[in-house]
Amino acid sequence: MSETTLSAAGVQEKLLKGPYHQWLGLEVEEVAEGEITLRARFREEWVVNPVGGYIHGGILAALVDLTADWALVAWTGKGVPTLDIRVDYHRAARGDLRIKGKVIKVGKQVSSAEAWVYDSENRLVASGRGLYAMPAA
């Protein structure tokens, strides 16, 4: 493990300082070197279409971004602002969500990470990758 990798409890504490993260109902399930798994508890406010009952793509995009971001935060211990993000939608999402993030490349100025969002039936509903600015040493 990298010298700066935070524990799941350490990441949870940092993560929940953000009101948006609190509202999303995020829970850190697992942290490893360059990897993180989060759970987001379903909220009725996420629904874009009451007839279909599925979750708005903006929520899925936010989960992709913040999970990829927090895979890097868990590694560096510091915030890493998003420079660019790409999200692909695979199917409508409903219920609680599990999100896995993985660091792809760590650079001195820019790093990349990916994330995958799974629904309550463990089906891939969205995935994406981002570029993040690295903190000064």
Q: What is the pLDDT of residues 49-68, one digit of tens each?
A: 889 889 999 999 999 999 99
Domain boundaries defined on the chain: 8-133
Whole-structure pTM value: 0.92
Q: What is the pLDDT of residues 97-129, one digit of tens each?
A: 999 999 999 999 999 999 999 999 999 999 999
Cβ contact 63:42 at 8 Å: no
Q: What is the DSSP string of 40-75?
A: E---GGGEEETTTTEEPHHHHHHHHHHHHHHHHHHH
Q: Which CATH class, in words, describes the domain spanning 8-133?
A: alpha beta
